[in-house]
């Protein structure tokens, strides 16, 4: 696969990639470098966050950090459920699939990135199932992202078939993630060192310094929007 997405220009609408995640920082952890890489190659990236675990001041802070990450990595941010649901499980499967259906109709992506179906987090699995259902009649390439929790059995079972070399975008990814590393009541701060270790591990599997890995859930060969590692 290559990242030879069409160059932006007058009269041209760039190819689009849709990223659907359960929570703020999920996209940055598993695909932040890929998002930056795609944007740099003229691909429009829309990232949809389905739920917001905090409320009150915590939710405001989390929203602000996500907006900052979007600006850093160059993606369009969407909150398809209004950011009012604290867990994906609160949304309901029918409503969830309908929300993803609307995103796909609006964005018209050639590829969709979402959580891997074998992820250990229940919200992540629900998101993966909804995206799989919403793309069942679409000709889109569907990729499963690595689990966000690296010290879990799910991460050890994750076996990517596609890699994206993010070496040139590692600094941007770290800048996007740094605000999420701050401690907050009731939540563990993000372990930035663990994220970088996972990037280096997938880099070692693909012959690069740092990479992000993906499971190919469904492929139609629509132009190879993910660059090869």
Number of domains in the chain: 1
118 found inside a domain: yes
What pLDDT is attached to residue 11?
A: 41
pLDDT-derived band of residue 4, with 50, 70 and 90 as boundaries? very low
Using alpha carbons, select from 63, 86, 6, 71 the residue that is nearest to residue 38: 6
The model's pTM: 0.89
Is the pLDDT score of 223 beyond 60? no
Is the pLDDT score of 86 beyond 90? no
Contact predicate 114/20, CB 8 Å: yes
What pLDDT is attached to residue 222?
A: 55
Digit-coded pLDDT (tens) for 145-188: 999 888 889 999 999 999 999 999 999 999 999 998 876 665 66
228 found inside a domain: no
95 found inside a domain: yes
Digit-coded pLDDT (tens) for 206-220: 999 999 999 999 987
Q: Could you give the percent of the chain with pLDDT greater than 70?
A: 86
68 found inside a domain: yes
Gap between the Cα atoms of 170 and 52, Å rounded: 26
Gap between the Cα atoms of 92 and 78, Å rounded: 19
168 found inside a domain: yes
Residue 122: which domain range? 16-218
CATH of the domain at 33: 3.40.50.10320
Tokens for 64? Answer: 């602000």
Q: Determine which of 9-23, 67-81, 188-202 has the lowest per-residue pLDDT on average.
A: 9-23
186 found inside a domain: yes
pLDDT-derived band of residue 6, with 50, 70 and 90 as boundaries? very low
Is the pLDDT score of 229 beyond 60? no
223 found inside a domain: no
Mean pLDDT to the nearest integer, 60-73: 92
What pLDDT is attached to residue 227?
A: 56
185 found inside a domain: yes
Instruction: Say how many CA atoms lie within 13 Å of 87 toward its Cβ.
Output: 7
| Cα distances (angstroms) measured from residue 227 to each of 150, 162, 213 | 23, 9, 11
């Amino acid at each position: 696969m290559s990242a030879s997405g069409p160059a932006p220009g007058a009269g041209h609408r760039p190819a689009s990639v849709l990223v659907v995640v359960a929570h703020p920082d999920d996209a940055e952890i598993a695909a932040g470098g890929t998002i930056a890489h795609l944007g740099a190659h003229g691909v429009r990236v829309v990232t949809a966050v389905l739920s917001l675990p905090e409320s009150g001041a915590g939710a405001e802070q989390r929203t602000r950090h996500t907006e900052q990450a979007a600006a850093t990595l160059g993606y369009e941010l969407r909150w398809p459920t209004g950011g009012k649901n604290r867990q994906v499980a609160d949304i309901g499967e029918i409503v969830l699939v309908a929300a993803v259906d609307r995103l796909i109709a609006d964005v018209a992506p050639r590829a969709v990135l979402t959580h891997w179906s074998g992820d250990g987090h229940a919200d992540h699995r629900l998101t993966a199932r909804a995206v799989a259902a919403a793309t069942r009649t679409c000709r889109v390439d569907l990729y499963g992202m690595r689990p966000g929790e690296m010290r879990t059995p799910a991460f050890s079972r994750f076996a990517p078939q596609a890699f994206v070399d993010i070496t040139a975008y590692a600094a941007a990814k770290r800048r996007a993630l740094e605000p999420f590393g701050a401690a907050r009541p009731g939540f563990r701060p993000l372990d930035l060192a663990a994220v970088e270790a996972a990037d280096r591990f997938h880099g070692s599997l693909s012959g690069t310094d740092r990479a992000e890995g993906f499971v190919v859930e469904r492929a139609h060969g629509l132009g190879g929007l993910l660059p090869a590692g």
